[in-house]
Structure 1
Amino acid sequence: MIDEEITLKKLEVFLAFMRLQSLGKVAEELGQSTVSVHRALHTLEEGLHCPLFRREGRNLAPLPAAYVFAKHAQRAVEETEEGVRKAREMAGVAGARMKIGSLYSLTLRCIPQLLMGLKLRRPELQIDLTLGSNQELLRSLAEGRLDAIVIGLQAAIEDPQLLAVPLFEDEVRLAAPQGSPYAGREHVDLRELRDEKFITLGGGFVTSDSFDHAFQQAGYVPETVMRVGDIFSLINLVGGGMGYSLLPGRVAGFSSRVDLIPLDARYASRQTITLLVSRSRERDPNVLALAAECRMYGTRTDVLPG
């Protein structure tokens, strides 16, 4: 049975002393006092029930037993460190790989900049990026299949299990093909579009929720001729003249064939782009680095949102 006085911390002190052969140097390296170092070595001897050192003036000289014990202690510490690393990797904590989820609409500027910044902070980190709807990404986060997600929220999330870091706020606008009757307007009254045909995203996307919210404010249900599963198809269909839609301002750079026209303030619908992670992971170094990049992105003024 291993005596309770034998701890990994004491083994680390012991191994540092065997390497440096000086109480003062060990204390400096480990950020402890020489008294603490000496006490750790003395209690380790007590736990082993055999002497490891003899006193030589104010210092200690290792006995043969210390050299024998050091070989095994070194292996014990290395094996424990390897076990800790593998356990953290298995749990997805501070591992060498991070799984991040995001919306398709954030891949023009926001996500590339966040990932580049994250790689600068943690060069050894391998990143897996998953794109999907709000609904899919939230489910994957809850089930532990993703470590972090960057999505759009219409309201602050009320989940004590999640840590939220807002990046920026985006405004939903009327998406119209170039040359439409509404081109060039400062804003559009949605009630003028009662007779127009619309295309929207399927359920589960934050932009689909924004679409429904805006038309609730306008007081009618628009004629929806098509629902699609991704924002790129929607943008192309609008640009091709198949109908109108409501899209966030961050997609403006995806197509030159689509005009994004502000809505009248009465129908305003906004999305807050937000990083979400489990609170149980908030001290994970990988999560801390990503959160820092998100906060930096939110304070920058030299880039367009999204």
Structure 2
Amino acid sequence: MPSSRISEEITFRKLEALLAFMETGNLAKAAEALEVSTVSVHRALHSLEEGMRCALFRHEGRNLLPTEAAHVLADVARDVLKSMAEGIRETREAAGYSADQLKIGSLYSLTIRTVPQVVIGIKTRRPDLQAELVLGSNADLLYKLKQGAIDAALTGMPEPDPEIESIPLFEDDIFFAAPADSRFARMEAIDLRLCRDEPFVSLGEGFVTSSGFMEAFRIADFTPNIVMKVGDIFSLMNLVGGGIGYTLLPGRVRDMAAGNIALIPLTAEFDMKQTIGLSFLRRRERDPNLLALAAVCRMTRIAR
């Protein structure tokens, strides 16, 4: 056996027992500090001697006294345990586990109300945690989540995935969006089949609102005349307000649409909803930061 190999009898737990004994001076106090039995401490010390292949203690009556070798090993053990604890912390931070920063991905539309509520909630629960926001489409955020570029994502509920845990938060109705002075703005509900010859604007592929948009027109049995696509929902709203075209929008943007855009319900056959949820990797489901984020999101759901 090479001399560099360390005996399997030498473990972190046994080194902790050694330090507890050296610092308290007797087996009973060491056992109390470690919340184990006296017999367990005695066995750990005896096992360390076997692993070291030298005497670490000598008996004087009922007393167990450390040798010079025990003092040397204790000094090394302090450094080893400290280095390992620091290494575990750094490893977890590199993996995003319980780090002091949390990267949250979000759809643009959720920055109006949901994201501010979540950020305030997480700062209340974990004041030292720095939250960073990353915006994008559903597809983009789920890709970044799997790549480890973000810690969690607030998106439309994704398709079932063995790697991802998703918690539904709330449902949002989908509306027909038209300029406030449009003839459609005065209607109680919109039948999309009556809009076959109208111009439309939409989000690019990968956005949950975009996929819902295409599904609605599949039901209406025609391909909409899309005159322009954009990469965020606020630009989309500006195009509608400017009279470039019509679109479909989730109800959560209503506060931003006040004034120059009207959101009109769709008729029953086109009634659609979006389910918004929080997603994170299953392997990180016990991360304290993600547990706190999930708790905040559930409260945000209740508060809506």
CA deviations 1:65-119 (Å, max 9, x no partner) are 3332211110011111122222223333333333221111111121222233233
Partner of 1:27: 31
Q: Give a deviation string over 1:184-239, Cα, whole Å, max 9, x none.
A: 65432222333432211122211111111111112222222221121111112222
Change (3 A) 1:56 1:175: farther
Q: Equivalent residue for 1:159?
A: 161
Q: Distance in 1 between matches of 2:16 and 2:193?
A: 73
Correspondence 1:259 to 2:262: yes
Aligned pairs (5 A) from 1:186-201: 186-201=188-203
Please give the residue correspondences for 1:209-228 in structure 2 after superposition, counting only pairs within 5 Å: 209-228=211-230
By how many angstroms is 1:130 displaced?
1.1
Q: 1:213·1:269 contact (CA, 8 Å) conserved in 2?
A: no
Letter of the aligned partner of 1:160 in structure 2? P
Instruction: Please state how far the C-alpha of 1:57 moved relative to its aligned partner.
Output: 7.4
Residues 203-214 of structure 1 correspond to what in structure 2 (within 5 A)? 203-214=205-216
2:272 — aligned with what? Answer: 269
Could you say what secondary structure the match of 1:94 adopts? coil
Sequence identity of aligned pairs in percent?
55
- Superposed, 1:241-252 pairs within 5 Å as 241-252=243-254
**Aligned match for 1:284, one of 272, 283, 287:** 287
Q: Which residue of 1 aligns with 2:299?
A: 296
| Stretch of structure 1 that moved more, 15-24 or 80-89 | 15-24
Q: What's the counterpart of residue 231 of structure 1?
A: 233
The 1:35–1:254 alpha-carbon spacing in structure 2 relative to 1, beyond 3 Å, is farther
Whether the 8 Å contact between 1:13 and 1:40 is mirrored in structure 2 is yes
Match in the other structure for 2:140 = 136
Say whether residues 1:105 and 2:115 are aligned partners: no
TM-score, structure 2 normalization:
0.87
**Residue 17 in structure 1 maps to residue 24 in structure 2:** no
CA contact (8 A) 1:175 1:238 kept: yes
Q: Tell me the equivalent position of 1:118.
A: 122
- Computed over aligned residues only, the root mean square deviation of the Cα atoms, in angstroms, reads 2.4
Amino acid in structure 1 at the alignment position of 2:223: V
Asked if the contact 1:53–1:63 (Cα under 8 Å) also holds between the matched residues in 2, the reply is: yes
Which of 68, 90, 95 is 2:94 aligned to? 90
Structure 1 window deviating more from structure 2 (245-254 vs 115-124): it is 115-124
Equivalent AA in structure 2 for residue 282 of structure 1 = E
Q: Which runs of 4+ in 1 moved over 6 A?
A: 56-59
The range that moved more, 222-231 or 174-183, is 174-183
- C-alpha displacement at 1:35, in angstroms? 2.7
Distance 1:240 1:57 in 2: 95
Tell me which amino acid in the other structure corresponds to 1:232: F
**Equivalents in 2 of 1:135, 1:37: separation in Å?**
54
Which runs of no fewer than 5 residues in structure 1 stay unpaired? Answer: none
2:87 is the alignment partner of 1:76 = no
1:178 matched to 2:203: no
Moved more, 185-194 or 80-89: 185-194
Unaligned runs of 5+ in 2: none
Which segment drifts farther, 45-54 or 107-116?
Answer: 45-54
Structure 1-normalised TM-score?
Answer: 0.87
Look up the match of 1:40: 44
**Shift in alpha-carbon separation, 1:197–1:128, aligned structure 2, 3 A:** same
Q: 1:57 to 1:103 in 2, by over 3 A?
A: farther
* Displacement after TM superposition at 1:297 (Å): 2.6
Structure 1 residue 146: deviation in Å?
2.2
SS at match of 2:116: helix
Hey, what's the Cα distance between the residues in 2 that align with 1:116 and 1:20? 45
Q: For the structure 1 residues 67 and 183, does the alpha-carbon distance in structure 2 shift closer, same or farther, using more than 3 Å as the test?
A: same
What displacement does 1:248 show? 0.7
Q: Alpha-carbon deviations, 1:282-302, whole Å to 9, x = none?
A: 23332232223233333x1x3
* Residues 171 and 269 in structure 1, CA contact (< 8 A), matched pair in contact too: yes
Looking at structure 2, the residues matched to 56 and 253 of structure 1 have their Cα atoms a distance apart, in angstroms, of 81
Q: Match for 2:154 among 150, 153, 160?
A: 150
Secondary structure, counterpart of 1:2 in structure 2? coil
Letter of the aligned partner of 2:118 in structure 1?
L
